[in-house]
Amino acid sequence: MTSQSKSNEPLALRVCGLTKSYLRRDGLGLKGRPVLAAEAVTFDIPRGKTLALIGSSGSGKSTVARCVSRIETPDEGEIWIGDTNIARLPPSVLRPFRSRIQMIFQDAASAINPRFTAQQVVEEPLLFQEHTKRKQLRHIVGQLMRELGLRPEWAERRAHDFSGGQKQRLVIARALALKPEILILDEALGGLDLSTQAQIANLLLDLQASRSLTYLLISHDLRLVAQITDSVAVMSAGKIVEQGAAAQILEKPVQEETRRLVGLPEVRAITLAAGAGGRL
């Protein structure tokens, strides 16, 4: 499998023909017929770029995200990180790749133990990897907290004492502790107020530039999509129905589903504003 895009850019992620179904349960809790949540989904993301998956609720966006991160295993298809297809790797072989691709969810509060200190939240994945000495952890956590806009002296503060935006920064710091190449952002800014959302979005842009990170963004917020993404793929009923450069999709959508999602007059204004500054 080639690790370069059509424009000859090196690829961080390539997804080919990803399909995932679930068994729908009836009213008695018994297993019923299979339902396709994602069907033959194909896209790629060049290194250091951002692809947004957009679509209405139930379109299959989060299913794709969970399969790409290998939280779940796809029924069919390929997921290439560099030159390795991780779609069917068994857990023992998959483990090293989990440090290369990390997922950040919308609700930071439910993603961390509220009784943990900030130090414990951020160092947790390093302890699982078992290759970092304990005396190095405080230094690593302090550096990450500083990079994420959190004071290192807050390391002993309990997670429940942080604000929503600060908790999301902690979750991002924890993901970055393993030095990933790819972050999957599943509505990661959706639960924040507009001001905090803008701060975190700008932080993500800075981190992408400094660390050459690749983002797969799952979002219904077209203002955010217009500001921080390079390309967009539109999902409907488990399939990608349209994809291309962000400006092209948002300004001149072709498919009816895309036109319905973007709402032309509003999105055109958003896209023009994004082109002027690139930051929220």
pLDDT digits (tens, 9 = 90+) for 142-154: 999 999 999 999 9
Mean pLDDT of the chain: 87
Residue 276 is predicted with a pLDDT of: 42
At residue 259, the 3 state secondary structure works out as helix
How are beta strands 214-218 and 182-186 bridged, if at all?
parallel
Confidence of residue 277 (pLDDT cuts 50, 70, 90): very low
State what percent of residues in the chain have pLDDT above 90. Answer: 59
Residue 7 is predicted with a pLDDT of: 58
At residue 276, the 3 state secondary structure works out as helix
Query: Quick count: other Cβ atoms within 10 Å of Cβ 136?
Result: 11
Question: How big is the chain, counted in residues?
Answer: 280
Nearest CA to 186 out of 81, 85, 69 is that of 69
Q: Does the pLDDT value for residue 62 go beyond 50?
A: yes
| Calpha distance 188→201 (Å, rounded) | 10
CA angle 207/194/203 to nearest 5° reads 10
Residue 3 is predicted with a pLDDT of: 60
Q: Does the pLDDT value for residue 139 go beyond 80?
A: yes
Nearest CA to 156 out of 194, 116, 188 is that of 116
| pTM: predicted TM-score of the whole model, two decimal places | 0.89
Average pLDDT over residues 228-239: 95
List of domains in the chain? 48-72+90-277 (3.40.50.300)
- Asked which of 48-52, 122-126, 220-224 is least confident by mean pLDDT, the reply is 220-224
Residue 67 is predicted with a pLDDT of: 96
Q: Does the pLDDT value for residue 265 go beyond 60?
A: no
Q: Does the pLDDT value for residue 80 go beyond 60?
A: yes
Q: Does the pLDDT value for residue 36 go beyond 80?
A: yes
